[in-house]
Amino acid sequence: MKVLVVDDSKVMRGIIRKMLGQDGVDVLEAANGRQALEVLSGEPIDCIVSDWNMPGMKGIDLLRCVRGGVARADIPFIMVTAEALESNFAEADAAKVSGYLVKPFTAEELWSAIRNVLPDAPGR
């Protein structure tokens, strides 16, 4: 399984990589939405885990681009945010987000979110 982790924080990408990598998941990284689109243009991805707030291209804008692209519109997309605002959830729901995680979260919560969108995912 290939997961694309999109976050402007290298530390956060490393934390998520560690949470997922322990279970043999191939983790690709991008520092913002634009880099994520570059990765998506060249790699088949099973799931995207993206932060909401990033410079350059926010997670919500990346979600809209992913959902707007025919080839990748069905990729499960889990939005990560430090701000549990109802308006953000509503905006992401309208853009067809697959799931949410609110920081801070545990490895178990991350795996639960992945299992909700990919029931056959390897790992925990």
pTM: 0.93
What's the confidence (pLDDT) of residue 72?
A: 85
Q: Which residue has the higher pLDDT, 122 or 15?
A: 15
> Tell me: the pLDDT tens digits for 63-120?
999 999 877 889 999 999 988 778 888 999 999 999 999 999 999 999 999 999 998 8
Burial 88-124 (b: 16+ CB within 10 A, else e): bbebbeebebbbbbeeebebeebbebbeebbeebebe
- Residue 78, φ and ψ in degrees, nearest 5: -105, 120
The CATH topology of domain 2-116 is Rossmann fold (3.40.50)
Whose CA is closest to 6, among 47, 40, 49? Answer: 49
Q: Which amino acid is at 32?
A: N
What's the confidence (pLDDT) of residue 123?
A: 62
> Tell me: the pLDDT tens digits for 18-33?
999 766 789 999 999 9
What's the confidence (pLDDT) of residue 69?
A: 82
β pairing state of 2-6 and 77-81: unpaired
Would you list the domain boundaries of the chain? 2-116
What's the confidence (pLDDT) of residue 124?
A: 53
